[in-house]
A and B are shown apart, each in its own frame.
Chain A
Amino acid sequence: MKLTAAQKALALAFTLGLMAGCSSTGDTMGEEDGMTTSGGETSGQESGSTVYGGEDGSGISSSEMTEEQRREAEERAMEAQEQAMREITTFYFDFDTAEIKPEARDVLVAHARFLQANPGQDVRIEGHADERGTKEYNLALGERRANAVQRFLVVNGAARGQTETVSYGEEKPAVMGSSESAWSQNRRVELVFE
């Protein structure tokens, strides 16, 4: 699954130690404890003094780093992390609900911040339903899901004008078939950046 790949990327970011001291910045990233634990490789962070740079893992001393450099590194790290998260563009829902799942929230925040930082960027929010139930109700349900994601993005910094919603109901399944697995992959919202 894509999520796993993103988690790996995230774990990598932490392993590189670039996130050191990030919690002191006090911004929303501090809330992403759930993500750091999923990385599970945060050793070396606590000291806040050792920063590993480069993929070869050669260490450099923090004393040689200016405050400005530290902030830049932090920003780069955050960017890398958010970029990794933004690879996730599909969000799943339970049957007959439009509730955004807890695991989707951080990723959607990353998308919202990206949109906020790039006002020229538009996104189409496509809502889908599984094949069960009626086509017209599913069309409305797909819209409700797309609207829920749209609201979440806007609340988190995207401009409403950057977003456009469309519901395809049950008409465009991601996976063919009539199994619980197919249904769960078809109840979704997809973000399409254009």
Chain B
Amino acid sequence: MRQGKHTVGHQFPLLITVILSLLAAPVSSDELLIRITKGADSAIPISVVPFTESGQMPAGEKISTIVRNDLQMSGEFDPLAPEEMLSLPSKGSEVYFRDWRLLGQRYVLVGQVSSSGDTLQARYELYDVSQEKRLAGATASAPKSAARSLAHHISDRVYKAITGVQGAFSTKLAYVTLERSGNKSVYRLQVSDVDGKRARVRLESDEPILSPAWSPDAKKLAYVSFETGKPAVYVHELASGQRQRVADFQGLNSAPAWSDDGRSLLMTLSKDGNAEIYRMNLANGDLKRLTNHWSIDTEPTYDHTGKGFFFTSDRSGGPQIYHKSSDNAEPRRITFGSRYNARPRPDATGDFVYYVHQRDRSFHIARTDLESGEETVLTRTESDESPSVSPNGRMLIYATKQGEDSVLTVIAADGGAAYSLPASSGDVREPAWSPIVR
């Protein structure tokens, strides 16, 4: 574990801009740095009081610090800096609501962490300041080596208690980094926490790696790798590192997307002449062709029902988003707002579909309300790609350019707050947000 060094600066009054850099020393090549570039204007004031600690604590960031950063990162909270707190209570009986009201706080989280042997235990309580009421209180424990997991778990509980929505702080990100030096390129498929920490390289290759996709149980990744010189689809079990090349036909083998039950993949193959969408049964490799058109059909992804799917097709001239409600249904065109709309990603509720949208000469992330058909452009950056929605539908991660480098940026799914995850060197791209595993 690394010792974090924090610099928190506030800029008022117009935009609340918070630059938070977690500069780990030393920075490993696979660690992402976090920069929160913009907080939501409506962020909820919350105080995460430093937890008291007893026993031998693991090295690295403190539990309460990780929780505070998680909540801030969501863009929905505006945590108070500990040095501005009037008191540092660690249990409910020590909380003086008047003090917190004076500080303009809506919620206070207090707690204690203790260690015995290899186990770390956290006892925490969340209070609503105006109602002077306890909203949540629990004890949670984890092995010392999983201190960050314990902290993310607490963040999830706090988030749920306040917003009513399942937190996504315990989920993972998969992404691909690319380092170019001279003629040599090194692609690395990595998995990290959603705050960019605990990054681990799962596959390294001189040839491109694309389109990582999480299985519903978050235990496997499907992706496209060019390691044999041409694109093939692989399924990679994370715990064992075992992988299987599941599609290696003539032509394209790309854009894998998992079914709800994890037993099949949608994918794009061109073995029959041009890019079409197929479903592969992973148990026996059987294929069913789901599109049939001379145009490009690609980038399939199941909708929230698990029966229909969205995809990109240029059958109307340029790429647009289409939806098929079942295998045999007629494709219905979803996007009309500009001449280039591609790579759909629906949220889990079926309310919205997110995609890459060209406006003028720039590529942004936009979403369409599937009921009203209304389109909203969510990003102001210019070369945006690869949107992936958090499993609770509240946040969106995508890849964009900062100077010459590609970085990941997280925004609220309605376009509010933002933080970015640049690689410490080179490009980071193709983010995929893991499902919540209960």
Q: Does B395 contact A (CB under 8 A)?
A: no
Query: Contact: A133 with B208, CB < 8 Å?
Result: no
Complex: chain B residue closest to A165, CB-CB: B251
Given contacts A144-B296, A147-B274, whether A136 and B254 have CB atoms under 8 Å apart is: yes
| Shortest distance between the CB of B385 and any CB in chain A (Å) | 6
Complex Cα–Cα for A157 and B383 (A): 42
Identify whether the interface residues of A are mostly helix, strand, loop, or mixed.
Answer: mixed
Asked if residues B299 and A96 are in contact (CB atoms below 8 Å), the reply is: no
Which residues on B sit within 8 Å (CB–CB) of A2?
none
| B226 engages A178 (CB within 8 Å) | no
Contact, CB under 8 Å: B340 / A133: yes
Given contacts A135-B211, A165-B251, contact A141 B340 (CB under 8 A): no
Taking a contact as CB atoms under 8 Å apart, the answer to whether B226 and A134 are in contact is no
CA distance A76 to B195 in the complex (A): 67
Taken together as a complex, chains A and B put the C-alpha atoms of A38 and B314 apart, in Å, by 37
Chain B window 355-387, contacts with chain A (Cβ cutoff 8 Å), 1 for yes, 0 for no:
010100001000000000000000000010110
Whether, in the assembled complex, A8 has its beta carbon less than 8 Å from a beta carbon of chain B, the answer is no
Residue from the list B270, B312, B383 in contact with A137, Cβ < 8 A = B312
Query: Chain A 171-183, CB within 8 Å of chain B: the 1/0 string?
Result: 1100011100000
> Which of B231, B314, B318, B358 is the one whose CB lies under 8 Å from A167?
B231
B333 contacts the other chain (CB 8 A): no
Residues of A within 8 A of B274 (CB): 143-144, 147
Q: Are the CB atoms of B275 and A143 closer together than 8 Å?
A: yes
CA distance A132 to B358 in the complex (A): 9
Q: B255: which A residues are within 8 A, CB to CB?
A: 136, 139
Decide yes or no: A137 and B298 within 8 Å by CB, A144-B274, A167-B231 being known contacts: yes
Q: Given A96-B340, A167-B252: A136 and B229 within 8 A (CB)?
A: no
Beta-carbon contact of B342 and A139 below 8 Å: no
Asked if A140 contacts B210 (CB within 8 A), the reply is no
B149 contacts across to A, CB distance below 8 A: none
Q: Is A159 an interface residue (CB 8 A)?
A: no
- Chain A nearest Cβ from B72, distance in angstroms: 31
Q: Is the beta-carbon distance between A168 and B208 smaller than 8 angstroms?
A: yes
Other-chain contact of A135, B270, B358, B385 (Cβ < 8 Å): B385
Residues of B294-344 at the interface with A, using a CB-CB cut-off of 8 Å, are 296, 298-299, 312, 314, 318-319, 340, 342-343
Encode contact with A along B11-34: 1 for CB under 8 Å, 0 otherwise: 000000000000000000000000
- Chain B residues within an 8 Å CB radius of A172: 208
Q: A139-B252, A141-B296, A168-B226 are in contact. Are A134 and B231 (CB under 8 A)?
A: no
A103 to chain B, nearest CB (A): 25
Taking the closest CB of chain A, its distance from the CB of B152, in whole angstroms, is: 30
In the complex with contacts A137-B342, A168-B208, A143-B363 CB distance below 8 A: no
Closest residue of chain B to A147 (Cβ to Cβ) is B274
A171 and B318 CA atoms in complex are apart in Å by: 21
Query: With A96-B340, A133-B342, A147-B274 as given contacts, are A139 and B254 in contact (CB-CB < 8 Å)?
Result: yes
- B268 at interface by CB-CB < 8 Å: yes
Cβ-defined contact, A133 with B210, below 8 A = no
Render B210-235 as a binary contact track against A, CB cut-off 8 A, 1 for contact: 11000000000000101001110000
Q: Check: B70 CB closer than 8 A to any chain A CB.
A: no
CB–CB A132/B363 < 8 A: yes
Task: Write the nearest CB–CB distance from A170 to chain B, whole angstroms.
Answer: 9
- Which of B268, B358, B386, B404 lies in contact with A140, CB distance below 8 A? B268
Whether A135 contacts B210 by the Cβ 8 Å rule is yes
Q: Are B252 and A135 in contact, CB atoms less than 8 angstroms apart?
A: no
Count class of interface residues, chain A: 20 to 34
A82: Cβ under 8 A from any B Cβ = no
Q: Per-position contact with B for A13-32: 1 when CB-CB < 8 Å, else 0?
A: 00000000000000000000
Query: Beta-carbon contacts of B381-400 to A below 8 Å, as 1s and 0s?
Result: 00101100000000000000
Q: Does B401 contact A (CB under 8 A)?
A: yes
Contacting pair B210 A166 (CB below 8 A): no
Chain A, residue nearest B317 (CB):
A96
Residues 99-146 (chain A) with a chain B CB within 8 angstroms: 131-137, 139-141, 143-144
Are the C-beta atoms of A134 and B208 separated by less than 8 Å?
Answer: no
Task: Verify A171–B226 contact, CB threshold 8 A.
Answer: yes
Q: How far is the CA of A177 from the CA of B226 in the complex (A)?
A: 23
B299 neighbours in A (Cβ, 8 Å): 134, 136-137
Q: Is the CB of B356 within 8 A of A133?
A: yes
* Nearest CB in chain B: distance from A176 CB, A: 8
A137, B319: Cβ atoms under 8 Å? yes
> Per a CB cutoff under 8 Å, which of B251, B343, B356 touches A143?
B251
Q: Which of B224, B251, B358 contacts A133 (CB 8 A)?
A: B358
Are A135 and B430 touching (Cβ within 8 A)? yes
A92 to B332, CA, bound (A): 33
> Which of B109-158 touch A at CB < 8 Å?
none
Chain B residues with Cβ below 8 Å from A131 are: 383
Interface centre among A96, A131, A133, A172 (most CB of B within 10 A): A133
The distance from the CB of A147 to the nearest CB of chain B, in whole angstroms, is 7
Q: Which residues of A contact B386 (CB under 8 A)?
A: 134-135
In the docked arrangement, what's the CA distance between A172 and B363, Å? 20
Contacts of B356 in A (CB 8 A): 133-134
Q: How far is the CA of A178 from the CA of B405 in the complex (A)?
A: 11
* A/B interface sample: 5 pairs, CB < 8 A: A137-B342, A139-B231, A139-B254, A140-B275, A172-B208
Question: Which B residues form the contact surface with A (CB < 8 A)?
Answer: 180, 208, 210-211, 224, 226, 229-231, 251-252, 254-255, 268, 270, 274-275, 296, 298-299, 312, 314, 318-319, 340, 342-343, 356, 358, 363, 383, 385-386, 401, 404, 430
20 A-B pairs besides A140-B252, A169-B208, A169-B210 with CB distance below 8 A are: A96-B314, A96-B319, A96-B340, A133-B340, A134-B356, A135-B210, A135-B385, A135-B386, A136-B211, A136-B268, A139-B224, A139-B231, A139-B254, A140-B270, A140-B275, A143-B251, A144-B296, A166-B230, A172-B208, A178-B404
